[in-house]
Amino acid sequence: MKVATSIVLGKEASADLAAKAVANAMQKADISIANSVLLLLTSEFAGNPQQAIKAAAKAANCMQVMGCSATGIFTEEDWVLDAPAAAAMVFGDSVSLELPNRNTGNQPLLTLTAPNAINSIWLNNSRQRYGGVSGDAIGQGPFSVWQNAKGEVSGYVEAFFSGVKVATGTSHGVQLLTQPQQIQQTEQFDLLQLNHQPALNGLQKAWQSHSRSAETVPLHLIIALYADSAEAITAGNFNQTTIISCNEAEGSITLAQPLQAGQFLSWSLRATEVAEADITILADSLAGELGSKPGFGLMFSCLGRGPYFYDGVDRDLKVITKTFPGMPVLGFYGNGEIAYIDGNNRLLPYSAVLSLFSTA
């Protein structure tokens, strides 16, 4: 399998960075013509990435260049945040990115989208998906994503890999603070009554029991896990949403998603130790599902899950590189992750979606 990556940093957003990233990866893969290229650029390119995309296509001697801009990008060699950089993964031999209309084997679709392009029509059109949400500076640019070496005005791109097997999974990295509890009352985005008490009271009690202190609940680390049944949450088949604000006087909690009375909810905590253990288990599980040594991997991680979460070190990436030494890896830190869970494509917060690929 001829697949390789390269990441190149610079002082400014120059097309030369993209060309060099592709050229370096081509040399590693020992190919002179790429079947296709995944090109990721940092947000410094978001305003006008077309020259970098063209430079990548020229260096690869192919027009199938797909990718997006993001706040941070990484390969197995390094990660970059807050600096101009380009990262490329090139594909040769029997491996290639193909357009969905050729997907006769019903392979899961690699999907990259700008925040303003997300809608339920394409997200839930029966195709299994994995990928991430582009995290450029404004999330509105016409070239947040690209395919066929040009910007895609629809705001999202999709493709599948031919010549490989794929195994995909998700690491939520959360620790349960409460068992599933039934929702009694909501009002639009406000959660009012949970487990027959004001929602905020229950969360505060759960946090105090966990922390064994009177510290204020760290709302930025709390994730609400919800489903139509308690059993679904216990089995891991849940949706997630975050807390926007709390109303102390009313005891209500405003969530990022509107929930309904009758649904079930568990409060959970984002914790570094749990997240690292979770990604370790996931990597081993996906390798076992493939049944052979993976040839390359893609990972889409939330900006709030990467180095900012792990105190300046991306432990998720370290786990992957330690588990699979020398394996090419490409990914970015974005504004959300896409994964197929329990029969549905879902948009996730604060998660990491890992895909491993081996020869078919």
Assess whether 232 and 209 both reside in one domain: yes
DSSP 230: H
Name the domain boundary from 269, 287, 312. Answer: 269
pLDDT at 85: 98
Instruction: Find, among 74, 37, 32, the residue nearest to 55 by Cα.
Output: 37
Same domain, 159 and 205: no
Domain-ending residue, one of 269, 285, 313: 269
Reading phi first (left if > 0) and then psi (alpha if -120 to 50, else beta), residue 344 is in beta
H helix intervals, the chain: 15-29, 50-60, 120-123, 199-211, 230-234, 272-290, 315-323
- Contact present, 214 and 228 (Cβ < 8 Å): no
pLDDT of residue 182: 98
Count of the separate structural domains present in the chain: 2
At residue 140, the pLDDT reads: 55
Output the CA–CA distances (angstroms, integers) from residue 80 to 52, 54, 107, 279, in the order listed: 17, 22, 30, 20
The reply to whether 125 and 182 lie within a common domain is no
What are the backbone dihedrals phi and psi of residue 216, each rounded to the nearest 5 degrees, phi first? -65, 145
Residue 14's φ and ψ, nearest 5 degrees, are: -110, 145
Q: Are residues 72 and 147 in the same domain?
A: yes
pLDDT of residue 23: 98
pLDDT at 183 (0 to 100) = 98
Asked if 265 and 279 sit in the same domain, the reply is no
Token readout for 181 is: 């509890």
Give the Cα separation of 69 and 161 in Å (integer).
Answer: 21
pLDDT score, position 236: 87
Q: Which of 269, 286, 305 is the last residue of a domain?
A: 269
pLDDT at 342: 84
Name 120's Cβ contacts closer than 8 Å, sequence gap at least 6. Answer: none
Say if residue 104 is in the same domain as residue 118.
Answer: yes
* Residue 53 sits in the same domain as residue 157: yes
* 8 Å CB contact between 74 and 119: no
Range of the domain at 279: 3-171+275-359
Same domain assignment for residues 116 and 246: no
Q: How many residues can be counted in the chain?
A: 360
pLDDT tens over the chain, length 360 residues = 999 999 999 999 999 999 999 999 999 999 999 999 999 999 999 888 999 999 999 999 999 999 999 999 999 999 999 899 999 999 999 999 999 888 777 899 999 999 888 988 899 887 899 999 987 555 555 568 999 999 898 889 999 999 899 999 999 999 999 999 999 999 999 999 999 999 999 999 999 999 998 889 999 999 999 999 999 999 988 999 999 999 999 999 999 999 999 999 999 999 999 999 999 999 999 999 999 999 999 999 999 999 999 999 999 999 999 999 999 999 999 989 999 988 889 999 999 999 999 998
Query: How many angstroms from the chain centroid is the CA of residue 267?
Result: 22
The reply to whether 237 and 264 lie within a common domain is yes
